Structure 1
Amino acid sequence: MTKIFAHRGASGQYPENTMLAFEKGIEAGADGIELDVQLTKDGRIVVIHDERLDRTTSLKGFVKDTVYNVIKTANAAAGYDQTYRDIKVPLLEDVLLWADKKDFLINIELKNSVIRYEGMEEKVLEAVKRFNIEERIILSTFNHESLALCARLAPHIERAALTSDVLYQADQYITSIPASGYHPKLNSPGTADEVLKKMRNSSIKVRPYTVNRPEDMKRLFEAGADGIFTDFPAKALALLKNK
């Protein structure tokens, strides 16, 4: 059965990468959540997608140039109405503390392909180990050197290669990292389907992103995708139930 991941939480309806969006994703019945991490100027792991604060928060500038005590004053629901004025940028440890007593998967995307955050892998792994939930974690990144480092530091934690384009001999490449998951971008119709066909005889888990249209969801369910990342987990789950 295809697993449904709430992409940045239930971000189609709630401010992305916030505790509210994650809670709503799990309330909708998602099998897991996906979140993005960056490092602040003082080395804290914050959950935010962009390298800059501008799009999703009330602050401006780079995450890497801003200390956490400043970031925690920001409204993390920029672009939303006043209903969400008290939404904060969470720390990774806030999410893990909330998830600790629950039972769902957590895909942590390391946002280190634009800015190569020194020591990010060690910091994230230390946080995951502190909460003793390694078996529920998937580490993913577009930076495959970083993925290889994670394999050396914590071989028992699942790893997945993110790509925005088609890989040649993807199964061999991903195995060489080594990783056991492949998260391809849902580009044009058929791209992810081709990947699924090629991977059918491998043990690599294919989970395309970001799958928001009902027709794409249905097609990927039928093609046997191991998972999908969607901004609308409730919609995906309703379709999966009626498959």
Structure 2
Amino acid sequence: MKVNFNLIAHRGFSEIAPENTIPSFDLALDNGFISIEFDVQLTKDKMPVVIHDDDTFRTTGYKRIIKQAKYSEISEIQAKNNFNLKENVYDIPLLSDLLIRYKNKSDMHLELKSNEKELSKIVLGELIKNGYDYENSKLFKKGGITISSFNLNQLINMRRLNSKIRTAWLVDKLTHNNIKISNEEGINMICPKAEFSKEDMVSIARSKNLEIRNWGVKNKEDLVQAYNSGSSGTTVDWPETAKNIINDIEN
């Protein structure tokens, strides 16, 4: 069965703007990519911030370990500007900054990156506080909310808090075992690495009412592999180039 293939701007339009920053997400939406993916971690004072690594060094040049620093310390650091953009201040945003700015304008894929047990509860609390109808949100549509993680326990915790929120398990390979576990735990989606996405396993997962999308697309070959496997889409750092590749395949 052929499905629509959706491109998710990985940490925003991170090919041309600093990852996980407001300018990066703005550029994704401005260029027509409503699906955005970003990472959420907790600071020492339990503030959910949008950053991938467990410290700030790679993206800012200044090292602060996220879980050991208060938000007031994190907020003083700006992301590196290695891009030809006019703005020169790129704060590490709070989750609430994105929820407010992009409400009903984007399809959000929130990755629970750190392992604190309370992360799920805090993220859900932010969704509730900002009026998100996550129980009825549509995948790949404006207003969509999907909670993803490599940490299965985070997803189980989230589903215990609210069984109707869409959850996505990030894995290396799609296997019979993680299909079985996903069904048992009520996980809605499995996200294997693109290079390991195989049509036969995707078909089996779909027959078990699981959605499939990919991650880890490094080049055209990975993107074509993801597309041909029958998955619903993938995260990608270079969505405009990816869109052109998909258009060439389909036309």
Pairwise same-fold verdict (TM > 0.5): yes
Q: 2:28 aligns with which of 17, 25, 29?
A: 25
Quickly say closer, same or farther: Cα 1:65–1:48, change in 2 above 3 A. Answer: same
Q: TM-score if structure 2 supplies the norm length?
A: 0.86
CA contact (8 A) 1:55 1:78 kept: no
Aligned-pair distance for 1:51? Answer: 0.6
Counterpart residue identity of residue 69, structure 2: T
Instruction: Determine if the alignment matches structure 1 residue 86 to structure 2 residue 89.
Output: yes
CA contact (8 A) 2:174 2:190 kept: no
Q: How many residues align?
A: 236
Query: Hey, what does 2:111 align to over in structure 1?
Result: 109
CA contact (8 A) 2:40 2:111 kept: yes
Q: 1:192 aligns with which of 197, 201, 215?
A: 197
Aligned-pair distance for 1:3? Answer: 1.5
Counterpart residue identity of residue 156, structure 1: K
Aligned-pair distance for 1:145? Answer: 1.2
Unaligned runs of 5+ in 1: none
CA distance in 2, matches of 1:84, 1:193: 42
Aligned-pair distance for 1:85? Answer: 3.1
CA contact (8 A) 2:57 2:63 kept: yes
User: Any idea what SS the aligned residue of 1:219 has?
Assistant: helix
CA distance in 2, matches of 1:200, 1:101: 28
Instruction: Determine if the alignment matches structure 1 residue 69 to structure 2 residue 68.
Output: no
CA distance in 1, matches of 2:62, 2:46: 18
CA distance in 1, matches of 2:225, 2:45: 45
Aligned-pair distance for 1:27? Answer: 2.0
Query: Hey, what does 1:241 align to over in structure 2?
Result: 247
Aligned-pair distance for 1:132? Answer: 2.4
CA distance in 2, matches of 1:214, 1:83: 30
What is the CA RMSD across the aligned residues, in angstroms?
2.0
Query: Hey, what does 2:120 align to over in structure 1?
Result: 121
Q: Deviations over 1:66-120 (max 9, x none)?
A: 1111211111126557855311100000011111141x210100012xxx32411
Query: Hey, what does 2:185 align to over in structure 1?
Result: 177
CA contact (8 A) 2:64 2:74 kept: no
Unaligned runs of 5+ in 2: 138-143
CA contact (8 A) 2:174 2:197 kept: no
Identity %: 28
Instruction: Determine if the alignment matches structure 1 residue 54 to structure 2 residue 60.
Output: no
User: Any idea what SS the aligned residue of 1:169 has?
Assistant: helix
Quickly say closer, same or farther: Cα 1:81–1:232, change in 2 above 3 A. Answer: closer
Quickly say closer, same or farther: Cα 1:83–1:31, change in 2 above 3 A. Answer: closer
User: Any idea what SS the aligned residue of 1:109 has?
Assistant: strand
Query: Hey, what does 1:35 align to over in structure 2?
Result: 38
Aligned-pair distance for 1:215? Answer: 2.9
User: Any idea what SS the aligned residue of 1:4 has?
Assistant: strand
User: Any idea what SS the aligned residue of 2:223 has?
Assistant: helix
Q: 1:156 aligns with which of 143, 164, 168?
A: 164
Which 10-residue stretch deviates more, 156-165 or 32-41? Answer: 156-165
Aligned-pair distance for 1:239? Answer: 2.5
CA distance in 2, matches of 1:11, 1:97: 21
Q: TM-score if structure 1 supplies the norm length?
A: 0.89
User: Any idea what SS the aligned residue of 2:23 has?
Assistant: helix
